[in-house]
């Protein structure tokens, strides 16, 4: 078992890098904050590295901000799963 505190960190990083143009951690943080989810860019990095837990509300916000499905972020859907 790993020490990851969340299931979505790797997928968040992948989605950021696959976006055209790429989304920075700072830009993702701003998108989340527009949804009322106050996560800074350093916390985005901690989430991507599995060092910070994610709530269900944050999960949905990440899905919307990255335009991917919640199932894809959770690793339950093989395709990119655009929302």
Residues 26-57: tens digit of each pLDDT = 999 999 999 999 999 999 999 999 999 999 99
pTM: 0.92
For residue 33, the model assigns a pLDDT of: 98
Sign of CA dihedral 71, 74, 77, 78: positive
Collapse the DSSP code of 76 into the 3-class scheme (helix H, G, I; strand E, B; otherwise coil) and give the result: coil
Sign of CA dihedral 42, 49, 67, 25: positive
Candidates 3.30.310.50, 1.10.3720.10, 1.10.260.40, 3.40.50.300; correct CATH number of 9-73?
A: 1.10.260.40
Domain segments of the chain as ranges: 9-73
Distance in angstroms (rounded) separating the CA atoms of residues 43 and 47: 6
> Residue 37 is encoded by which pair of tokens?
């989810």
């Amino acid at each position: 078992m790993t020490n990851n505190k969340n299931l979505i960190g790797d997928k968040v990083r992948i989605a950021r890098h696959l976006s055209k143009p790429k989304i920075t951690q700072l830009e993702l943080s701003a998108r989340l904050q527009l949804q009322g989810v106050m996560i800074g860019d350093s916390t985005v990095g901690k989430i991507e590295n599995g060092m910070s837990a994610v709530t269900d509300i944050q999960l949905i916000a990440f899905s919307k901000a990255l335009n991917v499905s919640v199932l894809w972020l959770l690793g339950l859907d093989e395709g990119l799963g655009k929302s």
